[in-house]
Structure 1
Amino acid sequence: MDLMVQKVLLVELHLIREAQARMVTLIKNTPDYNHTLGMVWLTCCSKQQNTALPKDLIKIL
């Protein structure tokens, strides 16, 4: 793999991780944390094929 492609992928991965961290902070600051977390999983993650329900969310949902 070309070095420039590797650098671009690393930058993209870093940006994705930053966005995920901001999303978690936003969710934790909402009044109804558990419901919001469940809704985020349902709208984002459940659309991916072969995505198992995280154990933390089983208790919530």
Structure 2
Amino acid sequence: MPRGIKKEHLPSKDCARCGKPFAWRKKWARDWDEVKFCSERCKREKGSEKLSQISK
């Protein structure tokens, strides 16, 4: 990405676990298509929330 891009113009996705939107980061530049989670915490807990909703 070129320098000087404002945050509102960066690509974004919704987290696969929590559903919150998150924006592109430089460290994800090479594998942006494979990024699914907004944080390491969501990545670690990827199945726990969905399982608890099903059992209710």
Give the TM-score of the pair, scaled to structure 2: 0.20
Larger RCO (CA under 8 A, 6+ residues apart): 2
Write 1 or 2 for the structure with the bigger share of strand: 2
Structure with the greater alpha carbon radius of gyration: 1
Write 1 or 2 for the structure with the bigger share of helix: 1
Give the TM-score of the pair, scaled to structure 1: 0.19
